Chain A
Amino acid sequence: MKITDLYIDKEVLDYPATNVICDRLNTSFQVVNNAEDVYGIFANVKTPVEKGKKTLFLTKNKGKFIRQCPGTDYYTCCNYMILHFGIFCTMDCSYCILQSYFHPPLLQFFVNHKDLEKSLDHLFLQKKLTRIGTGEYTDSLIWEEIYPFAEMLVSKFSRQSHAILELKTKTVNIENLLSLRHNRKTVVSWSLNTERVVKSEERQTASIKARLTAAVKCQEMGYPLAFHFDPLIIYPGCEEDYKKIIKQLFANILPENIVWISLGSFRFMPALKSIIEQRFDQSKIVYGEFIKGIDGKMRYFKPLRINFYRQIVSYIREIAPNVTVYFCMEDDEVWLKTLGFTPSEYGGLPMMLDKSASRHCDVF
């Protein structure tokens, strides 16, 4: 993690995590009274995303650590929970919504871990099957370079039987995980894409080969795994490229160790288009055949999505007919025409995923 500017909220100056991170980064820092002091620095910055990826603000999460994943009414959501421990990412993917989601886009790490633990204790006491992940507002494992955060989480989740933690990443920062007693309550998951997409759209991420090698190591240590083909990008020849990656995945990973595979075609808020055009001038992903979806996001024209999903599903089913495959934010028409059923036939998508979690992770 290359941090050029480190700011510390005066309230967290003496927190243990703050000290660890300062030691690891070994760089000068500035103490600020509040977040606005840091946000103000971005007011006249011409390239805020670039600056935000090198500027770290250590502070408190003053809101909720556990949140509902933001879905929309029309498309089917999986009722995922987010463990909100940090914001933004050091990797640089063209399609990343975080470029336009936070204002300003800035690396933030919340160091009030005692509050986070209290939130988790409260969640565990509810004894309700919960799927919770850290990879929505940031990458789950980029922070391992400066703070062994996963260690605390994996250990904590291992001591209960109702919730599973998903660590979603495009890195290979798994070394801290390998020696941990996880009790199969942590699912380690990777976002996968074609070599071409990784090369052109995912700057500073690990290669697919490296990601799969890391997944194999986690598999060897007994971790349940998951994979996310999201965003699926449509381009000439993409079907063959995705087929290749799917084959590569199953050449390395046993289907029975996969808790779920999610599929989601590229979708974006209209405001992201100009950011991608400006920041990734060689990228062509925003010039697909998009329409405005019912949630206001740009999505591939539905018949195109359906045809494409049919292909991807058939490639997966050919090798792994029983693995749980689901769509992130699609409607019943897509489910029915590609998978042959709608989630409601199985009690809804949350229930489908809960059942898979139960089978693989011994949660109830």
Chain B
Amino acid sequence: MHFVSDTVKINHIDSTDTTFKITNEISTDDLIKSINHVGLISPPILKLKANNRYIVVSGFRRIAACHFLGWGHIDARIVSVDESDLNCFKLSIADNAQNRQLNVIEQAVSISKLSIFFSNDDVALSQESKKLGLNVNTGLIKKLKEINTVHAELKKKIATGVIPLTIGLELGELEHGTAIVFSQIIEELNPTLNHQKEIIRLSKEISRLNNVPMSDIINDCIIADTINDPELDRNQKIKKIRRKLKQIRYPEIVRFETKYFALMQRIKLPESIHLIPPVNFEGNTYSINLVFQNLAQFKDINKILNKMQNHPDFAKIIEKELEDN
């Protein structure tokens, strides 16, 4: 690509034309300080258009900072009026991506603008993006394309990393008010990604199952109270909310598990004996972990195991007949 270095009048630059803009960063405070201190290190890239005016390919914030500092002229690299839009997009993305890590929304804007030139070929789009310093695979491209449908308030939270991209997209499918409520819970409690997904999935399924709005589930007094409970720490709140949602979504499973643990408590196994039930109580294979350090301890365990085999609650556990308890 051919550039010409030149000095141009700032008032000849049309910063309102955002054709090639990919950044959503508005603040120029840091840049103003830096430029004021050491000058403009990296000149913006402009494209010449009619009437000796320019549009910005890359460097919106740098131009805004210089304008703020009262500069009348600015050094710039100028691409020809004949340069294709695709090449200008490439320049814009590469110039930004090589200087800093683009946030998710900037990546989404970049992909959205580039994708026009690649129709539905995400493989080629991914390859081209990687050459420009934008490391996105086809799976991520698919998600980035979906971001455009997300409400601005959520986009901001995704861009700042408050909400992970996958969660943001999932919330984007919800009614706006509900999405914001969930994003606030995530922001406040900061659960792990898996727990975030679980909370949203359970709420969504309860909502569909019972024909109630998702917001009602969160406004359910116990969940709302849990979030606002000053006696609980963050992890306790997350645990309680997950448990509550699971209880509503899977009442029989939770009831069964509760009975199982109640029986286990009655058997009073020492820490040296750990009974492991079949996964989800689906299979029939139980296993026992024994922890001992010497023969005497092993003999003690053996005595307990002998007693255990005659314990009525142990038989109920093995037979999965928990109804009488």
Contacts and interface: CB of A to CB of B under 8 A. Distances in A.
Interface of A: 44, 74, 284, 287, 289, 291-294, 299, 301-304, 331-333
A44 B120 contact: yes
A74 B279 CA distance: 14
A303 B253 CA distance: 9
Interface residues on B, range: 10 to 19
Interface in B311-325: 320, 322
Contacts of A302: 280-282, 320
Given A292-B280, A302-B320, A331-B284, A287 B205 contact: yes
Contact of A304 (B120, B249, B252, B322): B252
B283 interface: yes
Interface of B: 120, 205, 208-209, 249-253, 256, 280-284, 320, 322
Q: Is the interface of B mostly helix, strand, loop or mixed?
A: helix
A287 B120 CA distance: 34
Give 10 closest A-B pairs by Cβ, nearest first: A291-B280, A287-B209, A289-B250, A287-B205, A301-B253, A289-B252, A289-B253, A302-B282, A304-B252, A293-B282
A74 B278 CA distance: 13
A302 B284 CA distance: 11
Given A284-B208, A302-B280, A303-B322, 17 more contacts: A74-B283, A284-B209, A287-B205, A287-B209, A291-B282, A292-B280, A294-B283, A299-B282, A301-B250, A301-B252, A301-B253, A301-B280, A301-B281, A303-B256, A303-B320, A332-B284, A333-B320
B305 to A, nearest CB: 23
Contacts of B252: 289, 301, 303-304
Contacts of B280: 291-293, 301-302
Contacts of A74: 283
Most buried by B among A287, A293, A299, A333: A287
Contacts of A299: 282
A16 B315 CA distance: 65
Contacts of B250: 289, 301
Contacts of B251: 289
Given A302-B282, A302-B320, A287 B253 contact: no
A291 B208 contact: no
Nearest to B320: A303
A333 B280 CA distance: 14
A332 B284 CA distance: 9
A303 B282 contact: no
A44 B121 CA distance: 11
B213 to A, nearest CB: 16
Nearest to A287: B209
Nearest to A281: B208
A304 to B, nearest CB: 5
A287 B208 contact: yes
Contacts of B282: 291-294, 299, 302
